[in-house]
Chains A and B, each alone.
Chain A
Amino acid sequence: MHALIKTYGRGLTVLFVALVAAWVLLMILVPGVRTIQRAFIYEDRAGETAMIAIEIDRAYTEKFQLDQEAADLHAQAEAESAPSSGVPSFGAPSMGGPTIGVPGAGPSGGAAARLSPADRDARLAEIAAKVATLEGRIADLEAREDTSSGEAGMKERYSFENFTTMSMVHVRIFVLTLFYALCVTVLSFLICYPVAFVAATTRSKGKLTVMLLLLVIPYAINELLRIFSWVMILEKNGILNSLFDALGFIDLEAGEGIRFVASNGAVFLVMVYAYVLFMVFPIYNTIDTLDPNQLEAARDLGASSWRIHTRVVIPHAKPGIAVGAIMTFMLSAGSIAAPEIVGRGLHPDWFSQLIYRRFFEADSWNQGSAYSLALLVACVIFIFATMRIFKVGIRDIAK
């Protein structure tokens, strides 16, 4: 700190410290702590809020029915005011011989069909009055819902229930997600290690430039589009099934197409494709710093290719492998794009989808926080385990 003040003066130092403090507090620590706090607050939803929600639903249904009836009556009035137009206008159920009741409109729809103009006006006025009271009621209920869904109305208590009430299905999805993410990580390493090795050890500058360019381009292309390109291949009428058809394995026209999409296997494969490049670059960067003479020496001393890799190259590339593994694992465990797009959002078989549903469909933010926390803890454990296994520090990781 003294060094900083000595060079840049008090003013700039204070500015730097203030910026970093704002960053740490407003964007990292306090949001994190608040999420953890929410994860341990259990909301008892059987209480008042749920009742209010049901009442609001009912009021809306009633209002919708009344609005429908009013619309019918208006349509009727218009049809009668212009009866000689000759062209049968739609929306007028009383025209064209026998009255065909509006299908599905219920009893009120049927009643609306036979009314004299005077009765109709009376009914319309009645409906308008009812709708007005309903609207007032809805506004009142919604105001109460807003206050009660906050801290005030809901029964809240600190507990582990957000975690313990996780159903077995969700626990299974959690474990499977982590397992698949681990598999994606291992497979990505196996796939990209030779590529990184070739790029890092090639002597031709032109070849290196081309290879790096070919790696950067797909890396920089949006994740969603890269995932989407696989949907076209894996779809029921997609390229893979057409290929099988052409080879005679299946008959597409007989509907024998195999539905690859919306399966966990497909999501898994697409993830390997999407995230493998996050493994290539860190490994390339570390192998690139390996002295070629070391490889030469190992070769001259008679080491086999296998031993050169396991005893010289991989030990040297450890930090890169660790970074790649952490990034790949984190991206695939937390991926929402791949399961949503390949799975068409139909199969909540990935943990990030569950988190999304907790927040935006079940409207249970505290449980959503608990699920996010579970995912975060899993990732942190993975990071520490990787650092331990590869014996690298945090400074080596984030470079």
Chain B
Amino acid sequence: MTVSVSAAGQAAAPAHRRRRVEWGDAVLNLYVVVFFAYMFLPLLFMVAAAFNQSPMPSVTDWQGFTLKWFEELPGDTRFVQGLMHSLLIAGGVIVLSIPLGVAGAMILTRMQSRANTLLYTVLVSPVLMPGVVLGVTTMIFWRDFFSVQAGLFTAAIAQTSFIASYCMLMLMARLQRQDRTLEEAALDLGASPLFLFRRVTLPFLMPTILTACVISFLQSIENYNTTFFAIGSSWTLVTEIGSRMRFGLSPMINAIGVIFVAITIIVAVTHTLLTRRKG
């Protein structure tokens, strides 16, 4: 008798609680929808204004559909040159960051010493520093010690100082999952250290290196804070967009925005589909 009563009580309580949980879930889901509206509505406005004929970016004052803001983009030499500068810097950043990241990851995962944590802290610190500070210190260093004026070179170096840290963190995560016995086997079978690195370690790291290249590229192209301070009188696409935004709004910026948004969505969706198929 007592058994059946307690069983009934147990069955009733979760049902009651489950209803409460469902209510909570509904509120949570509603909140998530509101959150995404908050994230995307401003972007929608920005995209819509790129197709408006009004010379001021606007969606409330609709003067008709046009593509002219896109057509004007290739003729704008500062934007085109800025894009070239951005690509140049990004290339330099990748070339520098990947070797630095690999070297840092190798040392930190293989070295067992007390200096390890200290070195780790130093190498990771650029990620945790404000971009302003990175840009300023790089600019000062190269001018004071090598008389190099701020420009594309210092911008690339300033970006590398923290992008290399990201690469290193990604490669460290990969190296920690490595099966060391493979390397030992190769060595036992008489492989030279260089051969081992080239044929065992590098192939194992390759997928991560490729991802790191893509992430370094995106980080470099999109960076504003650090670049703004380190680039001197030169400019990249993003710093040019920034200065246009300050000195007067133009739907051309919205047009560039649309291109950025489109590329982002395409890359994100492709990446999701690819990983989904694999997983």
Query: Which residues of A does B touch, CB under 8 Å?
Result: 1, 3-4, 7-9, 11-12, 15-17, 19-20, 22-24, 26-32, 34-35, 38, 191-192, 194-195, 197-198, 209, 211-218, 220-226, 228-233, 237-239, 242, 273, 277, 299-300, 305, 326, 330-331, 333-337, 340-341, 344-345, 352, 355-356, 359, 365, 368-369, 372, 375-376, 379, 383, 394-395, 397-399
A330 touches B141 (CB 8 A): no
Across the interface, B45 reaches (CB within 8 A) one of A34, A233, A394, namely A233
Report A-chain residues with C-beta under 8 Å of the C-beta of B187.
7
A94–B123 Cα distance when bound, in Å, is: 72
B246 touches A340 (CB 8 A): yes
Report A-chain residues with C-beta under 8 Å of the C-beta of B17.
299
A4 touches B106 (CB 8 A): yes
Residue B82 CB within 8 A of the other chain: no
A232 touches B61 (CB 8 A): no
A153–B56 Cα distance when bound, in Å, is: 50
A213 touches B268 (CB 8 A): yes
Report A-chain residues with C-beta under 8 Å of the C-beta of B49.
232
Given A27-B157, A232-B45, A337-B242, 12 extra CB contacts under 8 A = A8-B106, A16-B102, A27-B126, A217-B268, A223-B222, A224-B245, A228-B257, A229-B257, A237-B60, A334-B225, A352-B225, A394-B121
Report B-chain residues with C-beta under 8 Å of the C-beta of A369.
136, 140
Contact with A along B228-268 (1 / 0, CB 8 A): 11000000001001100111010001001100110011011
Closest to A222 in B: B222
A344–B193 Cα distance when bound, in Å, is: 57
B132 touches A375 (CB 8 A): yes
Report B-chain residues with C-beta under 8 Å of the C-beta of A356.
132, 228-229
Interface of chain B: mostly helix, strand, loop or mixed: helix
Report B-chain residues with C-beta under 8 Å of the C-beta of A368.
136
Contact with A along B119-147 (1 / 0, CB 8 A): 11111111111111100111111001100
A230 touches B42 (CB 8 A): yes
A34–B133 Cα distance when bound, in Å, is: 12
Closest to A358 in B: B136
Nearest CB of chain A from residue B41's CB, rounded to whole Å = 9
A19–B125 Cα distance when bound, in Å, is: 17
Q: What are 22 contact pairs spanning A and B, CB under 8 A?
A: A35-B136, A35-B140, A197-B28, A221-B43, A221-B261, A222-B224, A222-B241, A223-B224, A224-B238, A224-B242, A226-B43, A228-B46, A229-B42, A231-B245, A232-B46, A232-B58, A233-B42, A237-B60, A305-B21, A334-B131, A369-B136, A372-B136
Residue B100 CB within 8 A of the other chain: yes
Closest to B248 in A: A344
Residue B6 CB within 8 A of the other chain: no
Of all A-B residue pairs in the complex, the 3 with the closest CB atoms, nearest first, are A334-B130, A9-B193, A31-B141
Residue B31 CB within 8 A of the other chain: yes
Report A-chain residues with C-beta under 8 Å of the C-beta of B228.
336, 356
Across the interface, B132 reaches (CB within 8 A) one of A209, A237, A334, namely A334
Report A-chain residues with C-beta under 8 Å of the C-beta of B103.
15-17, 19-20, 23
Residue B181 CB within 8 A of the other chain: no
B261 touches A372 (CB 8 A): no
Nearest CB of chain B from residue A108's CB, rounded to whole Å = 34
A358–B164 Cα distance when bound, in Å, is: 29
A213–B155 Cα distance when bound, in Å, is: 31
A7 touches B137 (CB 8 A): no
Residue B29 CB within 8 A of the other chain: yes
B169 touches A399 (CB 8 A): yes
Across the interface, B57 reaches (CB within 8 A) one of A232, A300, A334, namely A232
Nearest CB of chain A from residue B179's CB, rounded to whole Å = 13
Closest to B14 in A: A300
Report A-chain residues with C-beta under 8 Å of the C-beta of B57.
232
Across the interface, B31 reaches (CB within 8 A) one of A20, A194, A379, A399, namely A194
Closest to A335 in B: B225
Residue B80 CB within 8 A of the other chain: no
With contacts A228-B253, A299-B21 taken as known, whether A273 is within 8 angstroms of B42 at the C-beta atoms is yes
Closest to A7 in B: B183
Residue B272 CB within 8 A of the other chain: yes
Across the interface, A11 reaches (CB within 8 A) one of B140, B194, B267, namely B194
A35–B164 Cα distance when bound, in Å, is: 21
Closest to A218 in B: B39
A35–B137 Cα distance when bound, in Å, is: 6
B257 touches A395 (CB 8 A): no
B193 touches A24 (CB 8 A): no
A8 touches B43 (CB 8 A): no
Residue B40 CB within 8 A of the other chain: yes
Report B-chain residues with C-beta under 8 Å of the C-beta of A220.
218, 264, 267-268
Residue B117 CB within 8 A of the other chain: yes
A379–B126 Cα distance when bound, in Å, is: 12
Residue B107 CB within 8 A of the other chain: yes
A34 touches B193 (CB 8 A): no
B43 touches A229 (CB 8 A): yes
Residue B161 CB within 8 A of the other chain: yes
Contact with A along B57-91 (1 / 0, CB 8 A): 11111000000000000000000000000000000
Report B-chain residues with C-beta under 8 Å of the C-beta of A221.
43, 260-261, 264
Residue among B24, B28, B29, B169 having the largest count of chain A Cβ atoms under 10 Å: B28
Nearest CB of chain A from residue B117's CB, rounded to whole Å = 7
A229 touches B45 (CB 8 A): yes
Residue B211 CB within 8 A of the other chain: no
